[in-house]
């Protein structure tokens, strides 16, 4: 019985898994109130709730080999209004 041949990528991708995910420039000075992991669709994000009421969603995009940071402002005020 022949052994299975496994594909090995020749390209080495540096993902910097040992470093914490980056912060956005927009809310770099805001303090983080809470961090948690969330799953939206097929993607896992690190959700940072900031003291100013904003939220950052951070994930590493392996297709683009870059960090993706999504910023949402006024989330805390909208949640209290509902």
Alpha-carbon gap, residue 60 to 67, rounded angstroms? 4
- Residue 46, in any domain of the structure: yes
In the numeric block, which tokens belong to residue 79? 């949640």
Name the residue range of residue 52's domain: 32-81
- Residue 16, in any domain of the structure: no
Residue 17 φ/ψ, nearest 5 degrees: -65, -20
- Residue 69, in any domain of the structure: yes
Mean pLDDT, the chain, whole residue set:
76
Tokens 């470093």 label which residue?
19
State the total domains in the chain: 1
- Residue 5, in any domain of the structure: no
Write out pLDDT tens, residues 40-64.
Answer: 888 889 999 999 889 999 998 888 8
pLDDT value of residue 79:
47
pLDDT value of residue 71:
92
**Four-residue CA torsion sign, 36, 39, 45, 48:** negative
Alpha-carbon gap, residue 15 to 13, rounded angstroms? 6
> Picking from 20-24, 50-54, 67-71, 78-82, which range would have the lowest pLDDT averaged per residue?
78-82
């Amino acid at each position: 019985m022949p052994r299975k041949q496994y594909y090995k990528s020749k390209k080495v991708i540096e993902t910097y898994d040992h470093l914490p995910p980056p912060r956005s420039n927009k809310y770099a000075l805001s303090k983080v109130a809470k961090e948690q992991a969330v799953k939206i669709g097929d993607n896992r994000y690190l959700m940072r709730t900031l003291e100013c009421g904003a939220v950052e969603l951070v994930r590493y995009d392996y297709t683009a080999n870059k960090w993706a940071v999504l910023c949402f402002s006024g989330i805390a005020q909208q949640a209290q209004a509902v």
